[in-house]
Structure 1
Amino acid sequence: MSTYREILDHPVKAFQKEAPEECGPLVLEELERILESRQFRHCTRGKQFLRYVVTEKLNGRIENLKERSIGVAIFRRTANYATGDDPVVRVQAGEVRRRLEQYYQEAPEKTSVRIELPVGSYSPEFHRHSLQLSPPEASSVVFSAPSETKKLTRTFNAWRVSFFSLLAAVLMLAVLLAFMSFDRHAPVAQAAAPGSTSAAGTVLNEFWAPVLGSPQPLMIYLAKEVTYRPAISVYDEYARTHHGAFSKEVQRANDPIPLNPDRKLLWSQMVLYSDYGVATGDVDSAVRVSSLMGRLGKPDQVRIGRNFSYADLSNSPSILIGAFNDCWTIKLMAPLHFSLKDEGSQLFISEAGPHGRRWFWKNVSSAQKDYAVVTRLVNSSTGQYTVILAGLSGQGTEAAGEFVTNESILAAGLKNLPRGWPSRNLQLVLETNITDSEPDAAHVVASYSW
C-alpha cells in the first residue's frame, strides 16, 4: 500500500473517513457552519446543492446522488433531460468543490468533521478528527494512502488547492471540448409530419428544418461589445504602492483592480481592448447551437463582432445571438410583433399594438426573473432562414439557447402552437428564473406566428 511521509513544523489534525450513520449530528452541525460561511452565504444554488447531497447521503438515499436526479431536484430539469447536452449539475458540483476548498483553507482549528465532494462523484464524504499531533510527533508521522487518511497541513493544503485548481481547469476544458464535439455524426431521427412530436428528435428537426435543407452552412453570429480597461500606467502606479500587486498580466486580466471609488481617471488612462467583449451567455448559446448542428450533421461557421455583414445574412441561414449588444438583432426585430426597446434606463421587450404587453428584467424574492425572445424567420427580409436569440440579460440569452437546442424543453414550449407552425414565421417570449447567475429552463409566456 502506498504511503506518504510529511515533515511538519506545526500541530495538525488527522481526519479519518467515517460512515454517515457514525457522525450524522457532527456532519449536520458542520453543514450549517459551511452554509453560513462567507464562501456559501450568498450562493443560493451552491447551498441547495450541498444541502441536498449531504442530507441524501446521511439518509442513505444514494440512488438520488446521480446527475439526472440532482438536475431534476435542484435545477428543475425534466426527468428525461439529456445530461450530455446540459452540464448544469457538473458545473455546479465543480463550483461547490471550489468553495469547500476555500472554506477549509480558512476553517477554524476546532473543526471536528470535514465534508468533501470527491472529483467525479456527487456522493459527499465525511472525515472526522481523530488525533492531535505535536511537532516532534508530526516530524516522523506516516500517512496512509489518501483514500484512508486526509493530510490537512497548511503546506499540503496549499499544494492541493493548486493541484486541484489545475485539474479542475483541465477537466472543464475536456468537458467543453467533448460538449462541442459529442456525437457529431450520430444518426438523427427523420422529421415526421408537421406538428408531430411522436419521434425522438422530431421537434428539433422541424424547428431547424430550413437550416438542414439549405446547402449553405449555418452562420452563428456573436456580437462583441465595446470594452475598455485601465491603461498599464494605472496598474503600474497601483503596484508601486501595493507591494507589486497587479504588476503581472495574469492578475490584471483576471482580477478587478480595487481602486478607491473617489480616484479620478483621465480618459487617456482608459484603453479600448478590441479582443474583449463577448458575453458569456451568448457564448453558451453558440456552443449549444454548434453542438446541435454537429449532431444533426449540419456544418456551421462562427463569426464574431464586425466580421459579419448583411451580405452574410443574405447568403446563408443565420442565427443571431444577443440583444442590445447586436445591431442586427435590433434592426431585424424592429418591425416585428415582439421587439426590443431602449428608453433611457429602461430595457424591455415590447409587443406591438395599442394594448401591447411589456416584459422587464426584475428581482423576485432571492432570485431574478429574465425574459428573452426567440425569433424564427422562415421568410426573412434577408431572403434566408434566420433565428434570433435575444435575452434582456446574458442569462436570458443563455436560456433561449437551451430552449432551441433541448428536445424536451422545445417540445413543451411549442405544444400549444397552431398546426402548420413549421412553415411560418414565429416569435416566442420566454421567461426564466435566475439563481446564482444560472437560468432555469425557460417557458413560453407569449407567442405570435404569421
Structure 2
Amino acid sequence: MANLIATPTKPNRRTQSPEIDDDPRWQLVERIVASPSFAKSERLSSFLTCVCQLAQTGQTHNINEQYIGSVVFGRNPDYDPGIDSIVRSHASRLRHRLGQYFTEEGAEEELLLTIPKGGYIPVFETRQAPRPTQIAPSQPATPRPFPDPAIVIDPEIFPSQSVPAHVSAAETSGATPRENKILVRALTIALIVTTLVATASIGAFLMERRHARPFVAVSESVPLFWSSLFNASDRTNVILADSGLVILQNLTRRRITLDTYLNGDYLKNLPPSPYPAAQTVNIGIRRYTSIVDAGIENHLFHIPGLNMDRTQFRYARDLRMDDIKQGNLVLLGTYESTPWVQLFEPSMNFYFENDLTAGVFSIVNRSPHPGEQRKYDATASDPDHTVYGLVAYRPTLSGSGKVLILEGQSMAGTETAADFVFDDGYLLPFLRSIRKPDGSIPYFELLLRSRSIGVEASRLEVIASRIEDR
C-alpha cells in the first residue's frame, strides 16, 4: 500500500496566500476551530484544518483516510487503515462536533460546513433557513466549495467632468431641436433594450443559482465501481430490509424462507412465543426498516457524480420476482431481514447461518483457503462483541445486471459492510488491486469483521475474500 501516496507533508497555515485568508469559507474554518466546541480538541481542529486546506489548494486527491492518518495523527505513510481506525473514529466525532457548532455558537452563520459520511471532502453550502431582509450597499458572492479560484477585478477610476449649470444640452452637443428629439428617442429605445437584456440575464443567473449544487470532486470509485450499478441506462432497485422479520424469527425460533415470505405462509401456524398469537402476527406484518439502511440510502444520494435517475428504493416485502429479472439490484440489511439474499447464496462462497435455538450466528466459508476458518461464530456472550459483515458483488440471476449485497449478522454488521464501500480509504485500494487490464472490476465477495459498540461498528478488517477468476 506504500506505493499509493508519496511521503505526505502537513499543510502549513502560515504559508497561505492572502487570497485564501480573505476567503469567507476559510474565515468560517478559523471561527470554528476558535470556538469553545473545538478549542479544547487539537486533533479535531487539525483534522478540519487539514482537509479544508487540501481542498482549498486543489489537492482533493490527498483527502483520504491514509493521508489524513499520516499528516494529522502521525501514522506511517503506509499504515493499514483496515487495522487502525483512528481516522474514521475521529471523523465521526468531527461530524458530530460540526453539527454542535452550527446549532450553538454558529447558529447565525450564513455558511454551513459539512463533511458527508463516506468521505472526508469538506462541503460548503449556504444555510437554507430564511434570514431577515437587510438593506446593504452590496451583497458578497455566495461562497462555493473548495477548490474555487478567486477572480479579482480592479476597477479603473475615471476622472469626472462637470458641465457648467448655465450651459444647456443643446449648446453642449451643438445639435438642432429635431436632432435632439431623434437622439432622445434612440436613447430611450436603447435603454429599454438594455433593461430587458439585463432583466433576462439576472433571471437566468438567479435560476442557475437556485438549481446549482455545490461542486464536490468526483471520486475515482464512481467510474470504477459505482457507475456499474447506478447509471442512465439501467434500472436499479435498492431493497430496504424488512426488520420486523428479525423480531418475529427470534420470538418463534423459526427461520423464514423466501418461499414462505412471498406467499405469506410465514405468518401461519406460528410456534408458541412469550406473546399472544395475535400480537406475534402483528409484529410480522408491521413495516419496519433499520436506521442503518436509511443511512445507506442517504449515503448513495450524497456520492458526487452518481446518476440516480433510474433508481428506486423498495421495501423488501413489496418486491416480486419479476422486479429483479431486469436491471441491477442492491440488497441491504441483516441475514434475517432480507430473505431475497437466499436467491444468491447457492453461488456465493460466504453465507450466513443462524441457529435460533442455540443462539449461535455463523458465517459459513464453503471452500476455506489456508489460514481461513470453515465457520466464524458470533455469540451474544462474546466479550469482544465481534460482528461480521459481507460485501458481495455478483451477477443477477439472468446475468444481464449486477447485484451488490451489503449484509450483516446484525445492524452493526451491515454497517461494517457499508463502511467499507463508502470509505474510499478502504474501497479504492481494493478496487485498484483487483481491476482487470480492460479497467473493469470482477465479481467479488469480502468477509469483514469489526467490533460492535452499542449498535455501531468500529475497527473494520477484511478476514477473507474471493475474486472471480483468481
Give the TM-score normalised by structure 2: 0.47
Q: Which has the higher strand share?
A: 1
Give the TM-score normalised by structure 1: 0.48
Q: Which has the higher contact order (CA 8 A, sep 6+)?
A: 1
